[in-house]
Structure 1
């Protein structure tokens, strides 16, 4: 297969011939690069939580610091997404990556020097505000290339495969990220995961920004067709963002309660490795989501797999103090992966014209904010009430996800009428 250089944004209008596959449009090297560039984002919340708990001994402060990371993500994320829609990824992403290097290293230094709690939270906020959100930008690139470079009869299947692939890669990154944090923290030093994340921002993220596909932008980004921003706050978009928020609550509550549970056993450093077990089945099922029958439509996938998450979270909540939660985490992942594929596919499909990066970044930011809030709340519950009480919070998040799935069914029916 010959590898061609990605087209300019106006390539279709200029009459460039269609290519047979998406790989021919991106180049094979794009995919490992886009994966590695995701790792700083996948590592930052777990890395901050692990480092702060290791240095201070406080799960509550660790949860607050992880929460501050997510608040930074949600505040800065939509701004970065909107700026990318206007300026392009090549202009914006390198500046964000360099700022993140400074912020993460400052956080590692500050916590190591024993600064007050408010300073730890402030540095964590800056680390979250500057963390490069490669995942929604990669989706935007690939979806745009599908529309510009592939023949019309190939686009429907290619789009479905892109969304499944991207979600599976996200899940894989969320497996590798926590596992890498756990290995580096347990075997070498608690500060090393943050330094590694900073190094990856400086190298892989900048290389991702400068890749030839970085020049590809949605048509409406360089003509007058971009939808007004108010179109993003329609019910059909917001319900999907709310679903991503519920998934983030589930992630944050699970990670922090797991850290508290393993900490009670004197093995807090194992939390990242065990958290990766959930990501393992999640990534596998996310990759297989494209094979689900079309009759199993997105709205019912959301509801059905939310039931799987809720059932496995109920099992997790009832584990004993000395129990290993591996099986429960594996079962949780069987629901999380397909739900994420469904939500992100729906977010892309419902994006207003020219607002793809804004919508996808908003969904990702909602997930991160919820993960942060749940981390902070769960840390407080674990420290004040105990790890067994904290382990019920993932079930509450799963219940919210199920309720929102029902709300989405009603929104779709109303839109159909």
Structure 2
């Protein structure tokens, strides 16, 4: 079925995305992200407490990322094929069970190998609400909004979603710290299990999840071949977002080591929040950038600001100087993440939007796990100065991917929203 193009008047009078999806949707989707943000840090916390090994804790966090890397895109493909509702209901129950099982195993007498295996299970069953929410909202925009408003609405939606991710990835570790301190190190994982079952289940059953399958579009065309997911123009976005995830993990871990050297490791989260708050605000502001400031230029500019901010880490010698460096990095990281997700939405092959978004979401988590594990090992064995080099490496990977994207997208540059 075809639709006539919307007139300017009808486009201006059409309902907003907030009205179409409903405020409860955004509240549920926001809270449902929390368990995902709590997992890596929660696993690290409980392993260090129960087993007394920072090295094992880092490996276990990396194992969570490994499970996500291996199974996340497959779960996205299943959502494309069978619809989000059925897949998410199963994952909510399975992941809640795996979180409880992991807690039981880590406090038991099982060998470290079983702890790592259970951690892989947590990552493998993780319901990636954030990427699936992006896919769901983009589908709503394309199906129910006039063409004249789609591009700007998609850009604004990616900005909101990235700001929500930023907020959750700052608040998640903070919540882990509160629960672990006030109750016990096992409390964050039990809390994450409860949140997963209740709010991921609610997200799954929300009316917006009724789409059975996105395998065919309105004209009945079959979905794109799987090989379309491996195009260089899409893979470079995955590499870039992997760099962002590595930056998150490396920055938080090296910052913790930096503050521990000054006898106040518990203040690392407060300093990290300076970057997170600024990043979230700037991410929201991306929707108001002029169309002439193309996506490929935004990636290069804002990742460049991020990289410059990380270079300051080589000279910081006080919490005040660290706050300044974090504030500069916050200017770059949020808009970079928004831009990468916008590229993912624009370059998703037909019928593969959930797959692409879970690929990108997996990239963030895998990168975070790798960054935290490697940085933790370096901080423990070599020292904080060496650990502070890792955020620079991650930022450079993100910037280099942006430069490669500039070249790859230059040949096909049309509208700013597609390049």
TM-score, length basis structure 2: 0.90
Match of 2:164? 169
Judged with a 3 Å threshold, the aligned counterparts in structure 2 of structure 1 residues 272 and 130 are, in CA distance, closer, same or farther, namely farther
Residue 112 to residue 406, structure 1, CA distance change in 2 (3 Å):
same
**Distance in 2 separating the partners of 1:28 and 1:274:** 31
Q: Distance in 2 between matches of 1:172 and 1:268?
A: 21
Q: Which residue of 2 aligns with 1:234?
A: 231
Corresponding residue for 2:375? 378
SS in 1 for 2:293: coil
By how many angstroms is 1:109 displaced? Answer: 2.2
Single out whichever of 67-76 and 104-113 deviates more from structure 2: 104-113
SS, match of residue 29 in structure 1: helix
1:352 is the counterpart of 2:382: no
Superposition deviation, residue 326 in structure 1: 3.4
Q: 1:11 to 1:371 in 2, by over 3 A?
A: farther
User: Aligned match of 2:326 in 325, 329, 333?
Assistant: 329
Q: 1:64 aligns with which of 59, 66, 71?
A: 59
Q: Paired residue for 2:243?
A: 246
Query: 2:30 is matched with which residue: 22, 32, 35?
Result: 35
Provide the residue aligned with 2:306 in structure 1. Answer: 309
Consecutive unaligned residues in structure 1, runs of 5 or more: 1-9
Q: Give, in whole Å, the separation in 2 of the partners of 1:91 and 1:230.
A: 26
Partner of 1:3: none
Map residues 163-202 of structure 1 onto 2, 5 A cutoff. 163-202=158-197
Counterparts of 1:127-146 in structure 2, within 5 Å, are 127-146=122-141
Matches within 5 A, 1:13-412: 19-113=14-108, 115-216=110-211, 219-221=214-216, 223-320=220-317, 325-412=322-409
Is the 1:144–1:218 Cα contact (8 Å) retained in structure 2? Answer: no
CA contact (8 A) 1:59 1:260 kept: no
Contact 1:12 1:148 in 2 (8 A): no
Residue in 1 that maps onto 2:7: none
Using the TM superposition, give the Cα deviation of residue 117 of structure 1 relative to its aligned residue in structure 2, in angstroms. 2.8
Instruction: State the superposition RMSD in angstroms.
Output: 2.4
Q: Report the Cα offset of residue 261 of structure 1.
A: 2.9
Distance 1:123 1:264, change over 3 A: farther
What are structure 2's unaligned runs of at least 5 residues?
5-9, 415-419
Deviation string for 1:80-122 (max 9, x for gaps)?
Answer: 0000000001110011111111111122222223643323222
Q: 1:219 and 1:123, CA in 2 relative to 1: closer, same or farther beyond 3 A?
A: closer
Please report how far the alpha carbon of residue 386 of structure 1 lies from its aligned counterpart in structure 2 after TM superposition.
1.4
For each residue in 1:289-347, what CA deviation from the matched residue of structure 2 results, as whole angstroms up to 9, or x when unmatched?
11112221111111111121112212234333877843333332221100000000001
CA distance in 2 between counterparts of 1:21 and 1:116 reads: 54
Aligned residues between the structures: 405
- For residues 56 and 326 of structure 2, the distance between their equivalents in structure 1, rounded to whole angstroms, comes to 25
What's the CA shift for 1:269?
Answer: 4.2
For the residues of structure 1 that align with 2:264 and 2:103, how far apart are their CA atoms?
22
CA distance in 1, matches of 2:3, 2:22: 18
TM-score (norm 1): 0.90
More off after superposition, 228-237 vs 295-304: 295-304
- Report the CA distance shift for 1:127/1:259 in structure 2 as closer, same or farther (over 3 A): farther
> Matched residues in 2 for 1:221 and 1:258: separation?
47
Equivalent-residue separation in structure 2 for 1:51 and 1:359 (angstroms): 32
1:359 is displaced (CA, Å) by: 0.8
- Given that 2:32 and 2:203 are in contact with CA atoms closer than 8 Å, whether structure 1 keeps it comes out as yes
| Aligned equivalents of 2:17, 2:85: Cα separation in 1 | 21
Alpha carbons of structure 1 residues 88 and 307: separation in structure 2 relative to 1, 3 Å: same
Query: In 2, distance between residues paired with 1:277 and 1:248?
Result: 18
